[in-house]
Amino acid sequence: MTIRIGVRRLALGLACVATLAPRARSQQARDLATQRFEIDPMHSTVGFASTILGAVKVRGRFTSYRGTIVYNARQPELSSVSVIIKAASITTDMSFRDDHLRSPDFFDVKRFPTIEFVSDRVTPSTGGAIVSGTLTMHGVSRPVDLPATLLMSPRLVGTTPNVAFSAELVLSRKDFGIAGTNKFNPDYNPLTNMLSDSVAVLLELSGNRDSFIGRTWGKGKPPGVADTVNRVLRATGIDAAVASYRKLRATHSSRFDFGADQLDGLGRQLAEQGNISDALVLLALNVEMYPKTSTVLESLGETRLLANDASGALATYRRALALSPNSTTAREMIRHLESLGAGVAPNVEKALGGAEDRSRRSSKPGRSSTF
């Protein structure tokens, strides 16, 4: 195998934590909630460059990907990253060439729809760290070591926490079985086109964590129900707020927007303000209303992290991953929580405690919960 690493910079804040177990004991579950960053495709680049004709560089990029970085500034060795790229999103700004790259001659995206990287070790080094992990592309998995550079330490941009990394590495496409043949395009001659086996991968990754401070939900037609629920909460408490939501949903379903984002946003806002107990009740209620929506489970999982409820968070993220197997957020949190030794009691509902019970107080007798 000839994977060659360009000794420049990396920025893969991707996550997964198989080898963190012995060292992660100094962490607590609540730490993970503030160390998680989602890669922002609008401000990131997953690009590449290869040489043809022995001299000319062709550049391209992938436009659809998701990734989660867990960055521990105090103990960088406990950091991790996980990324999933949609192979069909490759573009070189030439449609016919892009179709060729998607074909079985190259990436064969119908058979191998994703490219994935999962870290298993982070080793601090001078000026950065070496991120070691497994890269899976074209159905082939290879270990890689990525020399990484932190471009921007975690900081607030407005109210949103941000972090940034960069990296470059050089891969052999043939190591991943990407031969570059011409069955799709007979006019392409691999010999005369002299396509290089070496591909330089160029990464500029910005990660952030959503902030809900200052958000409102009352605008729109129909208006969002979260503002009404929030007013009741602040006036008369969480039980009245839950009862109000249930009543409005039952009697005025067309008067308000009852989308999953309503209680999700309000619950996240309460958690950000430090009101963890009320946030847990509203987010558990939202899971009851939207049991098949993985993102509402992820929000509940993160808030359980803030409550330092490792077992509850682990159970919740496992449910989220079952619904959305490509959720890098759930993957990463599960990995880290398992490395902390978090377990789930046999009776999960009993073990997770009273937040869900409080969210159901206004239910009719005998009503069963979906969570």
Separation of alpha carbons 368 and 76, rounded Å: 44
Strands 45-52 and 56-62, by their bridges, are: antiparallel
Strands 80-86 and 114-125, by their bridges, are: antiparallel
Calculate the CA 337 to chain-centre distance.
Answer: 15
40, 46 in Cβ contact below 8 A? no
Residue 184 one-letter amino acid = F
> Which of the residue ranges 7-21, 83-97, 175-189 would you say has the lowest mean pLDDT?
7-21
> Which of the residue ranges 39-48, 114-123, 155-164, 215-224 would you say has the lowest mean pLDDT?
215-224
Separation of alpha carbons 210 and 38, rounded Å: 9
What's the rounded mean pLDDT across residues 263-290?
97
Q: Does pTM top 0.85 for this prediction?
A: no
Quote the Cα angle for 12-38-146, to 5°: 10
46, 343 in Cβ contact below 8 A? no
In DSSP terms, which residues pair with 136 in a beta bridge? 116, 141
Average pLDDT, the chain: 85
- Interval 103-157: pLDDT, tens: 999 999 999 999 999 999 999 987 788 999 999 999 999 999 988 999 888 998 9
Tokens standing for 167?
């990296």
Q: For the chain, list the domains and their CATH numbers.
A: 24-208 (2.40.128.110), 225-359 (1.25.40.10)
Quote the Cα angle for 229-234-235, to 5°: 95
SS3 22: coil
